[in-house]
Amino acid sequence: MESHLKEVHKTKMKKQDKAGAAGEKPGSKKPKASVVAFPWKWVGVGAVALIIILSVIVIRPMLPGGNPTNSNVPEECIEGKTLQVNFVVSLHIIITSRDTTQLIPNGIGTDPIDGQSCTRRLHTGYDYNTSYQAARIHVESPETKDYTLGDFFFIWNNQSLGPGKVLSFWVDYQWRIVFKVNGAVLADTNTNPGYHYETFKLSADQDIVFYVSK
């Protein structure tokens, strides 16, 4: 019996010596290998960023602001040039539901370039009161050429004009737009929401009025 106990004791001591040599405590478990987690958080952030970029590229052209066609007015000044086209058009935007008129500033298309005065082919002067009078659009060109309402809105800081929208008044925001020229209705968004205002050709003595309401 005694010899058996000695053998058991020797065996136990050998196991302890082996564990000590390996830097382990008796009965301790080996640590598990660490697992590096996949950075799903950053994948999600990247996906959100991509969606935002795509929304700007795809959706923004459909929102108010910007014309669907490019202007055909050269970026030049007409000072000192012989004019082949010279007439005036009046433009009024009346917000009937608010009993107000939309401000159309004086001096559109007359910003100086490099400190020198510069007047574009389509511009507004200072010959009307912005508070209540229709704007007077001067169409002055050194060449015989047709100009459109969209050309003027483009020079006016590329203001929004197109089917179903004039400035911030957009048919999808429940605005109704009635487009009149010299008293005749050319378009009403209730019956013709796809009318292209921007392609309307300007000519002498036109009285153009947009009536917008909710």
pLDDT score of 63 = 41
Which residue in 105, 103, 93 sits closest to 165, CA to CA? 93
Q: How far apart are CA 60 and CA 55, in angstroms?
A: 7
- Has residue 105 been placed in a domain? yes
139-143 long-range contacts (CB < 8 A, ≥24 apart) are 139/85, 139/86, 139/87, 139/88, 139/89, 139/202, 140/78, 140/83, 140/85, 140/86, 141/78, 141/83, 141/84, 141/85, 141/86, 142/78, 142/81, 142/82, 142/83, 142/84, 143/84, 143/85
Which residue in 154, 155, 169, 104 sits closest to 134, CA to CA? 104
Q: Average pLDDT for residues 85-98, to the nearest whole number?
A: 95
- Has residue 59 been placed in a domain? no
Residues 126-184: pLDDT tens digits?
A: 999 998 899 999 999 999 999 999 999 999 999 999 999 999 999 999 999 999 999 99
Question: Total domain count for the chain?
Answer: 1
- Angle (CA) 87-90-91 rounded to 5° is 135
- Has residue 165 been placed in a domain? yes
- Quote the pTM value: 0.68
- Has residue 113 been placed in a domain? yes
**Boundaries of domain holding 204:** 85-213
Q: What percent of the chain has pLDDT over 70?
A: 67
- Has residue 22 been placed in a domain? no
103-107 long-range contacts (CB < 8 A, ≥24 apart) are 103/130, 104/130, 104/135, 104/156, 105/130, 106/130
CB contact at 8 A, 133 and 74: no
Q: What is the DSSP letter of 68?
A: S
- Has residue 200 been placed in a domain? yes
- Has residue 104 been placed in a domain? yes
- Whether residue 62 is predicted with pLDDT greater than 60 in this model: the reply is no
- Has residue 189 been placed in a domain? yes
pLDDT score of 16 = 53
CA atoms within 13 A on the CB side of 190: 7
pLDDT score of 156 = 96
Measured in whole angstroms, the distance separating CA 188 from the mean position of its chain's CA atoms is 26
